[in-house]
C-alpha cells in the first residue's frame, strides 16, 4: 500500500529585503502570489494533506488563501526552518511521508519533486540539490570519498574549503514522517544564527543509517527563490520568457517574445498572431487564426476563430464569436457575449450584453445590460441608459434595427425588428417594428442674436 503524502509549505518569513508590509510570499509573480504557484505544483502531487506555515503579516496569508482549502499553522517566532516544520508536526499523520516546500520558491515543478517523494516512500531521505556556479549564501552538500552525502553546512557556518563546494542544498526534502518526528526532536540551535536548521536532519539521517537519495532539477531556475524586489523582477521576466517560448513551440507568432505578459493560462489554436505588450490574465482561449494587435488586455476570455482584435482593446470575462472585429480602443466588460461577425469599433464600451451575428457598433457608444439582435447597426454616440440611480434595466434591440447617431435608449425599452431611430432621439417608450421613431426639439433660428463677448479686465 502506497504511503500517503503530506506536504508542508514554509511561508512564515518576513522578507525584510522586500521593503514591504506585505508578507513576502504574497508578492505576485505573473499575477498570482508566490505561494500560490507552489500550491499549484503541490496539488499536482495529489497530497492527502497540504499545510501552510505562516508568520509575518498575521492573518494576511490565511485570509488571502481562504478559498484554497488548506490547513494553516502559525509560527509565532521565526527560529529557523526546523522550528517552522515543528509547528506542523501535530497536523502530520504517523506512517505517512512528508515533503517540505518553500513559499518563496515559486517555479518548482512537480516532475522534480516526484523522485523525492518516491525516495521517502522507500524509507530514504529524498534531497534536492543543485550545482551552482556562484553558490554564495546557500548551504553546501558535503560528501564522503564514496560520494555519499554526510551532512549539510550553512554558508555562514562553512569553512573556506567548504565554501568552495558548488553543490548546494535547495531545501526541498522528503522523508518518512515517523523519522521526521524523531529528527525534529533532536534539533538544536548551536550555530551562528541561533536557529533550528531543518538541514541538520541530513547528518542525523546519516547517523541513523537512513540512505540519502539526491536528485537535481532539470533547470536551475526551478529552485530560485525571491528575497528582494530585484529578484522578483528577474524571476518575473524569466517566467514570461518560459511562457513565450511555450507559445512559440505551439506555433503561435509573437511579434516580440520579450514583450508579452501571461498571468494565467493561454490556449491557442493554429496561426494565432500576437503583437507586442499584450497581457493575458486568467484563462484565455484563442481560436485558429486570431490576430491580436499591440497593447491589448484579455482576461478570462474565449475568442473564436478568425477574430481580429486591434490595438488597446480590453476584454474581460467575455466571449467573442468567430470572424468578429474589435477595436482599436474597445472595452468589452464582464457578461458580454458577441456573436459571429460582430464589429465593435473605437471607444465603444459593452457590458453584460449579448450582441448577435453581424451587428455593428462602430463608434463612441455605450451598450450596457442589452440584448442586441442580428444585423443591427448602432450609430456613433449611442447610449443605453441602463441605470436609474438604484437599479439596472435592460434594453432590447431586435434584428435589423437601425439606431441613429447620438441616441439615448432609456431602459427598460424595446426597439422592434427592423425599426429605425432617428439621430438625436431619446427613446423612453418602445419603438414599433419596421417604423421610424424619433424625438427632436423643433429647430429654430434666432434672428439678430449676438454671441456674448468677453469683458476687458478691470470692468
- Structural contact between residues 394 and 377, judged by C-beta atoms closer than 8 angstroms: no
For 377, the grid coordinates are 447597426
Task: Match 527560529 to its residue by C-alpha cell.
Answer: 79
CA distance 55 to 88: 13
Query: How far, in Å, are 27, 193, 322, 451 from residue 236 at the CA level?
Result: 11, 31, 33, 60
Task: Say if CB 137 and CB 227 are below 8 A apart.
Answer: no
How far apart, in whole angstroms, are the C-alpha atoms of residue 180 and residue 126?
12
3-state secondary structure of 427: strand
Question: Which residues are identified as catalytic?
Answer: 363
Beta strand 343-346 with 325-326 is: parallel
Give, in degrees to the nearest 5, the angle at Cα 121 between 117 and 125. 70
Cell, residue 255: 511579434
* Cell triple for 252: 503561435
Q: Cα–Cα distances in Å, from 19 out to 15, 64, 78, 228, 239?
A: 7, 20, 18, 8, 23
Query: Are 373 and 356 a contacting pair, CB within 8 Å?
Result: yes
Cβ(443)–Cβ(425) below 8 Å: no
The DSSP H or E segment spanning 139 is: none
132 and 217 Cβ atoms separated by less than 8 Å: no
Q: How far apart are CA 289 and CA 104, in angstroms?
A: 38
**Integer CA distances (angstroms), 232 to 28, 56, 227, 324, 389, in order:** 8, 19, 8, 38, 44
Give bridge partners of residue 291 from the DSSP assignment.
273, 308
User: CA-to-CA distance for 459 and 456, rounded, in angstroms?
Assistant: 6
Answer whether 374's CB lies under 8 Å from 392's CB. no
Amino acid at each position: 500500500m502506497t504511503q500517503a503524502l503530506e506536504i508542508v509549505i514554509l511561508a512564515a518569513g518576513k522578507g525584510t529585503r522586500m521593503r514591504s508590509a506585505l508578507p513576502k510570499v504574497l508578492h505576485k509573480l505573473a499575477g498570482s502570489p508566490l505561494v500560490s504557484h507552489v500550491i499549484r505544483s503541490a496539488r499536482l502531487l495529489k497530497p492527502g494533506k497540504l499545510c501552510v506555515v505562516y508568520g509575518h503579516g498575521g492573518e494576511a496569508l490565511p485570509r488571502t488563501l481562504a478559498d484554497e482549502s488548506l490547513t494553516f499553522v502559525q509560527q509565532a517566532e521565526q527560529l529557523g526552518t526546523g522550528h517552522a516544520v515543528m509547528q506542523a508536526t501535530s497536523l502530520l499523520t504517523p506512517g505517512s511521508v512528508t515533503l517540505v516546500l518553500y513559499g518563496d520558491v515559486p517555479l518548482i515543478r512537480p516532475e522534480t519533486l516526484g523522485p523525492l517523494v518516491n525516495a521517502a516512500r522507500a524509507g530514504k531521505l529524498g534531497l534536492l540539490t543543485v550545482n551552482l556556479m556562484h553558490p554564495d549564501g546557500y548551504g553546501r552538500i558535503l560528501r564522503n570519498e564514496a560520494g555519499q552525502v554526510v551532512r549539510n553546512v550553512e554558508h555562514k557556518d562553512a569553512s573556506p574549503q567548504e565554501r568552495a563546494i558548488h553543490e548546494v542544498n535547495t531545501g526541498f526534502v522528503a522523508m518518512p514522517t515517523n523519522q521526521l518526528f524523531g529528527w525534529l526532536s533532536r534539533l538544536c540551535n548551536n550555530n551562528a544564527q541561533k536557529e533550528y536548521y531543518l538541514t541538520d536532519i541530513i547528518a542525523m539521517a546519516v547517523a541513523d543509517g537512513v540512505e540519502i537519495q539526491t536528485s537535481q532539477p532539470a533547470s536551475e531556475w526551478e529552485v530560485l527563490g525571491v528575497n528582494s524586489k530585484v529578484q522578483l523582477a528577474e524571476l518575473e521576466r524569466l517566467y514570461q520568457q518560459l511562457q513565450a517560448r511555450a507559445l512559440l513551440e505551439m506555433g503561435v507568432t509573437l511579434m516580440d517574445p520579450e514583450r508579452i505578459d501571461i498571468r494565467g493560462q493561454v490556449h491557442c489554436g493554429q496561426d494565432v498572431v500576437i503583437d507586442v505588450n499584450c497581457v493575458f490574465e486568467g484563462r484565455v482561449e484563442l481560436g485558429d487564426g486570431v490576430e491580436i494587435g499591440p497593447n491589448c488586455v484579455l482576461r478570462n476570455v474565449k475568442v473564436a476563430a478568425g477574430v481580429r482584435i486591434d490595438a488597446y482593446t480590453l476584454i474581460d470575462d467575455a466571449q467573442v464569436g468567430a470572424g468578429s472585429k474589435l477595436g482599436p480602443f474597445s472595452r468589452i466588460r464582464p457578461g458580454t457575449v458577441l456573436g459571429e461577425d460582430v464589429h465593435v469599433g473605437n471607444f465603444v464600451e459593452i457590458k453584460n450584453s449579448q450582441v448577435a451575428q453581424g451587428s455593428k457598433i462602430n463608434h463612441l457608444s455605450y451598450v450596457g445590460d442589452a440584448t442586441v439582435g442580428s444585423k443591427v447597426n448602432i450609430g456613433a454616440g449611442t447610449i443605453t441608459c441602463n441605470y436609474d440611480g438604484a437599479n439596472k434595466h435592460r434594453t432590447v434591440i431586435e434584428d435589423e434595427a437601425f439606431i441613429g447617431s447620438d441616441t439615448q435608449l432609456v431602459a427598460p425599452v424595446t426597439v422592434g425588428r427592423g425599426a429605425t431611430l432617428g439621430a438625436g432621439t431619446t427613446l423612453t417608450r418602445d419603438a414599433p417594428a419596421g417604423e421610424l421613431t424619433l424625438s427632436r426639439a423643433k429647430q429654430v433660428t434666432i434672428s439678430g442674436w449676438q454671441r456674448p463677448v468677453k469683458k476687458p479686465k478691470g470692468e
